[in-house]
Structure 1
């Protein structure tokens, strides 16, 4: 598949990610950037929410339940607007002369969309390439499981059949990819690539622009600058795609700015542009649900980053309130903080999973924060320059306190995790992120975009004022010309920002997508033929550490072990241990027959991460007289179990 052939799949993914939420927002009365900014988180909330409800309702997972829920909710919004128009207040339509700003908004998204898509193409290498890193075996097989079982519920995705006990797992990302596969009929790797492009090159910039304009307003200059600056960070989106890959967390971080923007608007500290507060609170419900079902840790991050928002809102409220009412929000905030501390301490992964250690000194971590060149990706100089300007503006109280507070919290979390001493304090702060500095690094750009946009817009304003003073007759610029110049500046900043942490991240990540640590070209070719050699419904015995378990995701033939690092069920372990005795022990053939494990896939050669995991069923395949070779390529061989007396 070529990148041009992937284009319609990317378009389909964009429709799935944006259209339900945008249509709902418009039907309920959201407009402009508010409707666009809330679209993706609301869509994810509706999609992942319906995935949870489908098993309860006895429905198979597909695009139809999502469509039905969206239509019903949209009709509800239209009914409310029809019968209770007063609830929406008086909001005159934008005059025709002002609608050229739609072009500005499109331009603001175009800059990062082009730059980020270009970076992703370089990172991934080809639409069918997969990240050959730890988490991807689970993610791709989980998508196949959603398609096979007809259930995409976050309550049941769990351990993917690796044990008898099912654990919840945030499935929003897997639900989106599965819908793209269903609608387009494309392969899982191509659908993953398409969703990755949509989330990184569209959802993330739109979210950043939405959050920024809650502070700066919707003037063309900051809108365009926010778009350009959304594309200059290696920490996000690139690093999460090759470290892990952390696809669910990647989706959640892309949604976080938009959901935080809704919180700021609902609290009264972000520009609402006439949107009723009750409508913002209502929109927050599916948006926050989408964030939680994308990744719960980012829902908790939202709770933390909302604290400065609430503090500023309370301070503003107390300026006008009188009597006992002045203390009500203070009491509510105290309750919020107390409840949040309890949840923060209890709702987190096990200590066994939080094993990441500090990676640098305190001074190095602070330097990386200032440049957002985190995790040794190298400095982004344009970010450093604008951060210095933003610091000066903060000292002059020209930066919103809630934005500055969020930035300082994100910075403190990263510094404490990447450079802090291991112990209770560090684990309390970062345990919900597995004590992993990569995840904390990805959150810094959320606020860095806003601060750098404020600094860049201020610099442009000062430059224009200086030009007006120096050339009073020549410096008068029309609004369209200002927008064009801002577009050029934003594009220049975006391009300049590619020459630092972005290029470093792409260079590092490209090795993960374009190497053969898990699957060699021969192994990938053999997997591509499994649909012709292995009947539907049969199970393949393979070593997951060799990449053989990708047979499920890439060839739609279930692997006996679907992921590594988990407890193998006893019935599966019996086959793995005793297949060499299939001619002498009738129980072996009975176990093979029960699990329909009639094929053995032996990928000779090195194992992932240099592992030395061995299973007798695979290690003895070449000398097992009860197995017959049915296909091979290079060192990769597929065997059929032919030694059971009664046959299949």
Structure 2
């Protein structure tokens, strides 16, 4: 399959990700960049919420479950616009003049630059649309997609029950899986191809739009910062690249792409960020009603991050509110009432922080470096082993100077310090109770908190780049009369637009060194399929892809999950007794896997095989996931077991057997 053949699946993903949310917010009189910036988060919120509601009302998961709430909410918005136009600001919105054509071209360029740069990087890293991430977590993600398609349920409340085929349902954040499964259904693309289509759209479109939206809450919707925010969203190896190579962390990847937009809505609702005519109550409604649920159902840890990042916004909001007050007892009561509300909010955050977290056994990641190293990595955005991104280091140093001159909003600085502090603590502090309390929400995993840092770093760097560009304009136009056309003006001229566009391209290209290029090169190994791949080798995948020729649809397959046999479910639609390596294997399944070579003398083995309808054994002799070295006696003697017969094979390392001794 070529990348051009993936275009229909990509266009399908774009429609699912942006159209529902955009139709809803536009119907509620939200316009301009606010509508574009909130479209994807609202769509994901609608999609994931509808998936939860589906099983409750007895409806299978399909695009219809997304269309119905979209139409209903859009209709409600249109009715409210008719009945209460003043509340939704529709009169003001309809009187806005059309933007200058050069400004519109600049905004198109602001999207084009990151779309091209990020899509190119992801395509180079993934290699082929049919490739899968050869990582531990991806075994679950791939099989969970097949489980949604088979069961008709994409609910977060039940997805964790895949291992028991629904007999023991449990929660697992399913927004990403719901999105990919819809792409599979609507486009007809395979599961691997649909995953890669979603990765391209989320990484190359949702992420930069989200970054631009957040940045403009600080800078205003002006051409230069919009261009620079789009360009600078491409310069971090930690996002999107690290999140789709390590793990692989697809749900967390989606939640982080939505997080900047969520922060932007918090700033708008509190009144410390630009609103572009959107009422504060409407920003709060979109945030609470759709965006927060969407982020939570993508990955709960990003909601906890949002709750913490909101603290500086609330503090700045209260301080600004206090400055507007006069003296008087009633006014003092209102002010101190807000202080009490903030303290209650902090108490609630601490309570959630202690309750919504993985187990201690799952949070055993150790620190990886010393604190000075961690601080240096934060400043240069060269997180983990990536090496520094020099343009980020330069712009961060400029930002420090701007902070000292009070030229950057305090809430932006506060969020940056929190995000940086979390990474420094998780990667540089020794193992202790305080470290576990602060970063245990993210499994004490340095990789996850590295991926979270660009969410706010891109805003800081954009402010610095915009300041440098403006000062350069002033300096050059003042020193050289022939360059007077560079003098900053309120209107965007063709000349200044061209210079800003070129500067943005330079930022994006120079910013690929070195963390981005390192992560792309490193990530290639996790997607390439060869004779010794991490999960599936070429012979193993070839055999899996023709299992449907030998194995009946209602049969289940026995196999060592650590060798990649579990992926028979995702790639060939044939269930296995062990659909993931991360769960404890049921005792009856272990009895078969350890005792298959004793079926002639142990009647319990054949009894279990008959009950589970598991007459087929998939055997791979290649590399195991994480080089685990896990072996089961009954699966090691298949070539010499008289009770099984080899019915297919690929090379010397992949074989399919049929149990004939039961």
TM-score of the superposed pair, with normalisation by structure 1: 0.97
Give me the whole-angstrom Cα distance separating, in 2, the residues matched to 1:320 and 1:605. 69
Deviations along 1:305-337, one digit per CA (max 9) or x if unpaired, are 000000011111112232311111111001000
Cα pair 1:162 1:563 within 8 Å, conserved: no
Counterparts of 1:124-273 in structure 2, within 5 Å, are 124-161=126-163, 165-273=168-276
Give me the whole-angstrom Cα distance separating, in 2, the residues matched to 1:480 and 1:83. 42
Secondary structure (helix, strand or coil) at the match of 1:639 reads strand
1:574 equivalent in alignment to 2:591: yes
Alignment partner for residue 420 of structure 2, among 388, 393, 411? 411
Cα pair 2:113 2:231 within 8 Å, conserved: yes
Cα pair 1:413 1:440 within 8 Å, conserved: yes
The gaps in structure 1 that reach 5 residues or longer are none
Shift of 1:587: 3.9
Q: 1:91 maps to what in 2?
A: 92
Give me the whole-angstrom Cα distance separating, in 2, the residues matched to 1:474 and 1:143. 58
Greater mean alpha carbon deviation, residues 622-631 or residues 156-165: 156-165
Q: 2:658 maps to what in 1?
A: 640
Shift of 1:614: 1.8
Give me the whole-angstrom Cα distance separating, in 2, the residues matched to 1:96 and 1:109. 20
Greater mean alpha carbon deviation, residues 559-568 or residues 453-462: 559-568
Q: 1:312 maps to what in 2?
A: 316
Cα pair 2:149 2:181 within 8 Å, conserved: yes
Q: 1:423 maps to what in 2?
A: 432
The gaps in structure 2 that reach 5 residues or longer are 326-330, 487-491
Cα pair 1:162 1:568 within 8 Å, conserved: no
Give me the whole-angstrom Cα distance separating, in 2, the residues matched to 1:565 and 1:114. 36
Greater mean alpha carbon deviation, residues 449-458 or residues 483-492: 483-492
Q: 1:292 maps to what in 2?
A: 296
Q: 2:306 maps to what in 1?
A: 302
Q: 1:465 maps to what in 2?
A: 474
Q: 1:16 maps to what in 2?
A: 16
Q: 1:456 maps to what in 2?
A: 465
Give me the whole-angstrom Cα distance separating, in 1, the residues matched to 2:556 and 2:249. 28
Deviations along 1:580-629, one digit per CA (max 9) or x if unpaired, are 34344444333222212121001113322222222233222212222121
1:601 equivalent in alignment to 2:604: no
Give me the whole-angstrom Cα distance separating, in 2, the residues matched to 1:106 and 1:161. 46
Give me the whole-angstrom Cα distance separating, in 1, the residues matched to 2:549 and 2:558. 17
Greater mean alpha carbon deviation, residues 296-305 or residues 279-288: 279-288
C-alpha distance 52-466 of structure 1, shift in aligned 2 (>3 A): same
Greater mean alpha carbon deviation, residues 377-386 or residues 468-477: 468-477
Shift of 1:476: 2.2
Give me the whole-angstrom Cα distance separating, in 2, the residues matched to 1:571 and 1:178. 31
Equivalenced residue count is: 644
Counterparts of 1:468-479 in structure 2, within 5 Å, are 468-472=477-481, 474-477=483-486, 479=493
Give me the whole-angstrom Cα distance separating, in 1, the residues matched to 2:553 and 2:102. 55
Shift of 1:643: 2.4
Give me the whole-angstrom Cα distance separating, in 2, the residues matched to 1:605 and 1:223. 49
Shift of 1:575: 2.4
Shift of 1:340: 0.8
Give me the whole-angstrom Cα distance separating, in 2, the residues matched to 1:304 and 1:567. 34
Greater mean alpha carbon deviation, residues 170-179 or residues 573-582: 573-582
Cα pair 2:30 2:278 within 8 Å, conserved: yes
Give me the whole-angstrom Cα distance separating, in 2, the residues matched to 1:24 and 1:210. 18
Give me the whole-angstrom Cα distance separating, in 2, the residues matched to 1:325 and 1:16. 44
Secondary structure (helix, strand or coil) at the match of 1:301 reads helix
Secondary structure (helix, strand or coil) at the match of 1:17 reads helix
Q: 2:26 maps to what in 1?
A: 26
1:107 equivalent in alignment to 2:109: yes
Counterparts of 1:342-353 in structure 2, within 5 Å, are 342-353=351-362
Give me the whole-angstrom Cα distance separating, in 1, the residues matched to 2:121 and 2:227. 20
Q: 1:524 maps to what in 2?
A: 541
Cα pair 1:540 1:558 within 8 Å, conserved: yes
Alignment partner for residue 280 of structure 2, among 277, 280, 302? 277
Shift of 1:162: 5.1
Cα pair 1:630 1:639 within 8 Å, conserved: yes
Shift of 1:579: 2.7
Shift of 1:485: 1.4
Give me the whole-angstrom Cα distance separating, in 2, the residues matched to 1:435 and 1:252. 18
Cα pair 1:128 1:189 within 8 Å, conserved: yes
Secondary structure (helix, strand or coil) at the match of 1:151 reads coil
Secondary structure (helix, strand or coil) at the match of 1:475 reads helix
Give me the whole-angstrom Cα distance separating, in 2, the residues matched to 1:128 and 1:483. 40
Q: 2:396 maps to what in 1?
A: 387
Shift of 1:80: 0.8
Q: Alignment RMSD, CA only?
A: 1.4
Secondary structure (helix, strand or coil) at the match of 1:392 reads helix
Cα pair 2:102 2:497 within 8 Å, conserved: no
Deviations along 1:257-303, one digit per CA (max 9) or x if unpaired, are 00110110011000001111121111112111000000000000000
Deviations along 1:226-264, one digit per CA (max 9) or x if unpaired, are 000000000111111111001100111110000110110
1:439 equivalent in alignment to 2:448: yes
Shift of 1:178: 0.5
Give me the whole-angstrom Cα distance separating, in 2, the residues matched to 1:357 and 1:145. 34
Cα pair 1:242 1:512 within 8 Å, conserved: yes
Give me the whole-angstrom Cα distance separating, in 2, the residues matched to 1:83 and 1:565. 54
Q: 1:2 maps to what in 2?
A: 2
Secondary structure (helix, strand or coil) at the match of 1:351 reads coil
Cα pair 1:162 1:567 within 8 Å, conserved: no
TM-score of the superposed pair, with normalisation by structure 2: 0.95
Shift of 1:159: 4.9
Greater mean alpha carbon deviation, residues 584-593 or residues 243-252: 584-593
Q: 2:514 maps to what in 1?
A: 500
Cα pair 1:143 1:174 within 8 Å, conserved: yes
Alignment partner for residue 481 of structure 1, among 495, 498, 512? 495
Give me the whole-angstrom Cα distance separating, in 2, the residues matched to 1:102 and 1:258. 21
Q: 2:489 maps to what in 1?
A: none
